[in-house]
Amino acid sequence: MLKLLSRSSHIACAAVVLLSAVPAMAQTVQTTSQTTGQVTTQVTNLAVAGTPVRVIPDDAPMARLELARPTATEPLQAKLDGKVHGVAPGLRIFSTDTMLMNPNTVAGKKLNVRYKLDLYGQLLTAWVLTDAETKAWKATH
């Protein structure tokens, strides 16, 4: 029994050491601009186990989303760049940190999103974009 506890404590210590070393495992990328000669350094962290990863399909277009508040006579509707779409029953809106957002909390706000429609043209999934993601999307498309 004592050997089992000793082994498990060694494993726990090793896990703590590995997790504390994660910030030191960041990747540094240096690029040099050919026009100005300036060197820029980007530091990107490696993915850590348990950290959610944002996976947005490449074919998901970008738009400005505005959800209209539902009323007693009108169902929830989405405006994507001014064009009105219905909302699918299984609507999922992902925040910038990959958390699901309640459509009622988003209603009335204008958000930059990438989205997918279902077979009937209804909004099925939307990913809220950060400012950096929006700029990167506009630069490449």
* Euclidean distance between CA atoms 118 and 96, whole angstroms: 22
Mean pLDDT per block of 10 residues along the chain (141 residues) reads 53 50 46 52 55 86 93 90 94 94 92 96 96 93 84
Q: What is the pLDDT of residue 38?
A: 54
> How far apart (Å, rounded) are the C-alpha atoms in residues 92 and 83?
19
Per-residue model confidence (pLDDT) at position 71: 85
pLDDT score at 115: 97
Which pLDDT score, from 0 to 100, does residue 134 have? 94
Tell me which CATH code domain 62-139 carries. 2.40.50
Report the predicted TM-score, pTM, of the whole model to 2 decimal places.
Answer: 0.64
